[in-house]
Amino acid sequence: MLCERCQEREATCHTTTIVDGIKTSSHLCGDCFEESAPLESREAAAATRAAHCRYCGGQPCIGGADLLAMITGEPRMMFLCLSCSTEFYRFMQEQAQRLPQDSSRQEQLAAIPVLQDEVDRHMQQWVSRSGSP
């Protein structure tokens, strides 16, 4: 199927949107898809293509918005390889259980940057010990 916009290249990006019950489909080549996307989407796509694991520099298997950074108000993307993501989420869960459950929301938000620093420090040490790619 040819791209419905340029009619020159093969359509490789197929999207379906449903708004208020009205279904709209689009079949575009990669170039036209990127050109038609909002600037934020183009920047996110470029970041994804150029991404490396945040901790070891390897090939990422997951990525997206860094949730801890979003909570603290500094939006950024985070990409992790399989090994680092497994250890990252294991350690994160362990540390999150130590956060004070009966404290105020303000105290909990104040604990997030400390948690983020602990996780980063742990991951850097873990990568240097494990010899991860």
What are the CA-CA distances from residue 99 to residues 13, 77, 91, 102, 113 (Å)? 43, 24, 13, 9, 12
119 CB contacts (<8 Å, ≥6 apart)?
A: 68, 88, 91, 92, 95
User: Looking at residue 110, what is its pLDDT?
Assistant: 81
pLDDT tens digits for the chain (133 residues)? 999 999 999 998 888 888 888 998 889 888 888 788 776 666 766 777 788 999 999 988 888 778 777 777 777 788 999 999 999 999 988 988 877 777 787 887 788 888 889 999 999 999 999 876 5
Residue type, 84: C
